[in-house]
Every structure is written in C-alpha cells, then in structure tokens.
A = this chain, B = another copy of it.
Amino acid sequence: MDSLKQKILNDGCIVGNDIIKVDSFLNHQLDVEFLNLIGQEFYRRFRNQPISRILTCEASGIAIATITAQYFKVPVVFAKKSPSKNLDPHTYSAQVYSYTRQSNYEMQVNKGYLLAEDQVLIIDDFLANGQAVLGMAELVRQAGATLVGVGVVVEKGFQPGGAKLQEAGIHLESLAVIDQIENGQIVFRD
C-alpha cells in the first residue's frame, strides 16, 4: 500500500535499528481519514471471503478494526488483556508472551461474542513476533470458528511473526512490510 509506506516515511519515527513508531497516526494519535484508507484496503483484499466478524486486541487494534468493520458491515470484538489468569468459565482465554513487557498476559473474549459459525478476520496494527495474533488465533480455535485470515498494517519482516503464521497455514495480508531499518533508513519489501 504505497500511501501507507509514504505515511510511514513521512510521519514514522525510527528508534535504533528495530523500532519504528507510528503513534502519530496509527496507535496513539489516530488519523481517522487515513484509517479509512487502511480499512478500504483490507476490504479490497478480503472482500471475497465470507467474513462475519472482525477480531482484534486492545488497545491499539481497536480503532483500525472498527473503521475496517464499517466496510465489511460486521461486528468487531476486541480481546481484553489481563495480567493474571482468569478462570471465568464464560471466556475463551489464551496466554500470550509480550516481548515488549517481557511477561505473560492473558487474552480473553466472552464466549458469547465469538461463535462456532463465525468466519473471522483478525486485524492488528503490528506484526512482529506474532504472539498477539497467534493468541487471537487460539481464541478462534477454542470457539470452533473459522479463521479466514489476518490483516496487519505494519509487519516487521525482520522478526519471525510472518513466518510463524505461514507455518501455521494462516492467510496473512500485511499492508506494509519493513524488511530492515539501517542507519535510520527504512527498507520496505517490494
């Protein structure tokens, strides 16, 4: 998605050789007009699939998933994060390791909002190590629902998340893949 690559180059902020911050438009301040371009692009890529629900994870996936859902005309459910294991029998639950926080958290969805007949599209802002997406895929599995695919805005191609999803046979669409950050320059995958 060329407009996204341009936006990342214009507005992104590079920290060291592996962190790219896009919180000026994607996950802290939200450029809602631009999020609509992102939503339209996800729709273009998944419009031929029978999607009945979009699943994301709090907090930074919510805005993108909500805007995207307007094009699919389906409900969103966002998984909640909890630091501790919750034994609530009304929720599906997956343990996820956060490399950022170097600790585990529990990701949960109320069983009423993820159904066996659902065709689920997972949407998230970033794909790096893949832990959050694999946690959401586990919630879909527990529900007996079908995972149609995963759409992420930015994939860090130099981290293993993309390969892990491929190994798991999951259809991934990344709107921009960053293969390298070197000397303050972002190298996108073609």
For A31, A73, A75, A77, the residue with the greatest tally of chain B CB atoms inside 10 Å of its CB is: A75
- Residues 144-187 (chain A) with a chain B CB within 8 angstroms: none
The answer to whether A80 and B28 touch across the interface, beta carbons within 8 angstroms, is yes
Give complex CA distance A33, B66 in Å. Answer: 10
The answer to whether B75 and A59 touch across the interface, beta carbons within 8 angstroms, is no
A137 within 8 A of B: no
Q: Is the interface of A mostly helix, strand, loop or mixed?
A: mixed
A29 within 8 A of B: yes
The answer to whether A112 and B24 touch across the interface, beta carbons within 8 angstroms, is yes
A70 within 8 A of B: yes
Q: Who on chain B is nearest to A62 by CB?
A: B62
The answer to whether B59 and A28 touch across the interface, beta carbons within 8 angstroms, is no
Give complex CA distance A76, B67 in Å. Answer: 13
**What 1/0 flags go to A72-88 for Cβ under 8 Å of B?**
01111110100000000
Which residues from chain B contact A76 at a C-beta distance below 8 Å?
Answer: 29-30, 32, 63
A18 within 8 A of B: no
Give complex CA distance A76, B30 in Å. Answer: 5
- Partner of A66 from B23, B30, B75, B77 at Cβ < 8 Å: B30
Give complex CA distance A113, B69 in Å. Answer: 26
Give complex CA distance A67, B68 in Å. Answer: 11
The answer to whether A110 and B32 touch across the interface, beta carbons within 8 angstroms, is no
Give complex CA distance A69, B59 in Å. Answer: 17
Q: Who on chain B is nearest to A68 by CB?
A: B32
Shortest Cβ distance from residue A82 to the other chain B in the assembled complex, whole angstroms: 11
Which residues from chain B contact A23 at a C-beta distance below 8 Å?
Answer: 110, 113
Counting from the closest, the 8 A-B pairs by CB-CB distance are A58-B59, A29-B113, A30-B76, A59-B59, A63-B66, A62-B62, A32-B69, A29-B77
